Amino acid sequence: MGKLPDMTKHRGFPSGMPGTGVQFTIRRANPKGVTPIKKLPRRARPGTQEHRIDAAFLHALWHYFGAEPFERGNLDAARLNLLFGREVLPADKDFDPVSYEAMFVINEKLARESFPEAFEDVMEV
């Protein structure tokens, strides 16, 4: 296996949603190439497990990064894709969807409307 691309690891960021097997971070860069970030349709309705997982991921993003721009790094592309283009936006116009160095920012207004529970100090999962 060749050298993997550099990837920032967000130390202390939750690795996933307890009891679900859903990951929020990845351990190492993808040897087949960086998974692209793209807006995916979200079918999760409030009250469903999928909605709680999205809310928990957003809760982790907010409480780790706040309103500041943040680097993709080892954040899971599948989780980001479900929020991308809505609650999570590119932080700059030169956004590269296949870069571990891509920068994002939370669209706080929409995120608070979609997932108000994600902004509470403690979120029950």
Longest dimension (CA), the chain: 44
What pLDDT is attached to residue 2? 60
Q: Residue 81 domain-assigned?
A: yes
Question: Given phi > 0 = left and psi -120 to 50 = alpha, else beta, which region is 21?
Answer: left
Domain count, the chain: 1
The SS3 of residue 103 is strand
| Residue 102, domain member (yes or no) | yes
On whether residue 79 sits in a domain, the answer given is yes
Q: In which domain, by residue range, is 78 found?
A: 71-119
Residue 27 lies in a domain: no
Encode pLDDT of 40-69 as tens digits: 998 878 888 999 999 999 999 999 999 999
Can you give the pTM of this predicted structure?
Answer: 0.93
Q: Is 85 a domain residue?
A: yes
**Residue 13, domain member (yes or no):** no
